[in-house]
Amino acid sequence: MKKANGYEIITLFEQWSPKRYAEDWDPVGLHIGQLNRQVEKVLITLDVNEAVVDEAIEKGANLIIAHHPPIFRPMKNIWTDTPQGRLVEKCIKHDISVYAAHTNLDVAPGGVNDLLASRLKLKNIEVMEPTISDSLYKLAVFCPVEHADELREVLARSGAGAIGDYAGCSFSSTGTGRFTPSAGADPFIGEIGKMEEVTEERIEVVLPGPLRSKVLKAMLSAHPYEEPAYDFFVLDQRTEEFGLGRVGALQEAMELKEFAQFIKGALDVPAVRIVGDASKLVRKVAVLGGSGSKYIRAAKRKGADVFVTGDMDFHSAQEAELMDLAIVDPGHHVEKVMIEGVARHMEQACTEKGYEVSFIKSEIDTEPFRFI
Ligand SMILES: [Zn+2]
């Protein structure tokens, strides 16, 4: 096991939930402090308030990963007699850094929306509103047949060749490579000034654009040749689409009133608001963590019978009613599922890397609403 700094931990986090998945308006990333110091404990929270910072201090965590950005609108000043100014002051005084992953964590496979869909035990889950896809590349690399297995393994480990649920996909064909080492060369095979013929494999793998430099680096470091021959092609296809919200089917249809009770239990909330006929049968469910008012049409387009989302406003609720889309609003705070999900994902990622760091789940209840 080895110590890690904040930068190394966040690099692992962003391999899962990259900032490019975030909406344009969303201020994700490091908000307070710095990442260039050792971190042994990370506190995971939905929101950052003073009680959460006190919890971090008490538990010895010097990095907080939050879902909701603590500095959402630009601050023009830091007055330490205001709640927000005091929060920044307290973090800095105690060397606590705060990092926010908001809509990028909603979009990330296995992030907030997938966590909610899995709580609802949905089947055949799809993205509700696609927001981003990556360009796709093909790498073709030529290597002596005896080294092809090792090179294929290195390429797979670097993330190349992932297609849908399949990892390490590649295609090989065998042929003859020819080269003449010139003066100054230090050839792995052959002699200076003599034409060499080698039986080589051409290994082809696809990879998403953002992995290009990582895969290239891995290939060059594993290839036995001094000057490996390779081609990168831009493909016409793109990667699968990532996006906000999820749509899936319940195991079996149920009445809206029964579904509302199910949601209370599945998402651990004391009450929900519903829109629609309580006896309507629902089977196809759309779910979006946070505020989903502006996504009712996307839910309807995807054929959902019911849309589970928070912060539903009056006019959007009326519009949903008119389009026969039932709504179950369990509130915004159900996004707290991210605490468990992020801790689990990051514990595993850090264990694989051999980082000695623990992830603490915040126990502060940041839900502002009470039901009476
Ligand atoms: Zn939210």
Please say if the pLDDT value at position 1 is more than 90: no
372 CB-contact burial (10 Å; exposed 0-12 / middle 13-18 / buried 19+): exposed
CA–centroid distance, residue 291 to ligand 1 (Å): 7
| Predicted confidence (pLDDT) per residue in 304-358, tens digit | 999 999 999 999 999 999 999 999 999 999 999 999 999 999 999 999 999 999 9
CA–centroid distance, residue 290 to ligand 1 (Å): 4
Residue 11: pLDDT band with limits 50, 70, 90: very high
| Predicted confidence (pLDDT) per residue in 38-73, tens digit | 999 999 999 999 999 999 999 999 999 999 999 999
CA–centroid distance, residue 333 to ligand 1 (Å): 7
CA–centroid distance, residue 129 to ligand 1 (Å): 16
Please say if the pLDDT value at position 17 is more than 90: yes
Rounded to whole angstroms, the Cα distance separating 95 from 325 reads 48
Residue 113: pLDDT band with limits 50, 70, 90: very high
pLDDT at 65: 98
CA–centroid distance, residue 309 to ligand 1 (Å): 10
Name the 3-class secondary structure at 8: helix
The counts of H helices and E strands in the chain are 11, 17
Which tokens go with 218? 């891995």
> What is the pLDDT of the chain when averaged over all its residues?
96
pLDDT at 164: 81
Contact 237, 163 (CB under 8 A): no
pTM, full prediction: 0.85
| Predicted confidence (pLDDT) per residue in 286-306, tens digit | 999 999 999 999 999 999 999
